[in-house]
Amino acid sequence: MKRYVVDASAVAKCFIIEDYSDKALEVITAHVKGHLSLSAPSLIVYELGNIFWRHPRITPEKAYEFIEKFLDLQIDFVEIWSDAELLKNACAISKTRNLTFYDASYLAIVERDRAKLVTADEYLRNKAPNMVVLLKEFPHLRHLQAMTK
C-alpha cells in the first residue's frame, strides 16, 4: 500500500471549503477506503487547532468537532520526540533546508518511511521538491484504486 505523510495545510481543506478541498477529501477518502496509508507527526493536531482558531467563522465548538472528526480518521500519528533518529533528522532538515521544525518534522517522517508529503504549501514543496506532492497535483482516486488492485 502506498504511504503518504499529510500536513495540516492539506487536512484543513477537508473542513474549510476553499481551493482544492475536493482533492483533500479525495486523499482522506482513499485513506479511509484503504487505498493508501496516511501518517503525520502528532503536532498536526495543534496545527489544525490553530488554523481553526484563526478562522473567523469557526467557533470553538466547531473547532472541537472538526478535530474529533480528524482524530476518528485513524491516521498514524508519530511522536517525533520519542524516536531519537527522527528527532535528530528533523533538527538537521530544519537547519539545512531553512524550514521550521514543524515542517521538518513532516519531512523526517517522509524520509524514514520513504513516502511523500501531501501539502497545499507551495513554499514547502519548493524547499523539498523531491519529497513533496502538492495537493492540487495529487493523483485521482481512480488511479489509486487501480494501483491497489
Displacement of CA 26 from its chain's centroid (Å): 13
- CA end-to-end span of the chain, whole Å? 10
Among 114, 115, 121, smallest CA distance to 136 is for 121
CATH of the domain at 120: 3.40.50.1010
Specify the number of domains making up the chain.
1
Residue 16 grid cell: 474549510
Read off the pLDDT of residues 54-110 as tens digits, 9 standing for 90 and up. 999 999 999 999 999 999 999 999 999 999 999 999 999 999 999 999 999 999 999
Q: Residue 109's domain spans which residues?
A: 2-147
The mean pLDDT value for 42-58 works out to 97
Please, which pLDDT band fits residue 139 given cuts at 50, 70 and 90?
confident
Which pLDDT does position 148 carry in this prediction?
41
> Model pTM?
0.91
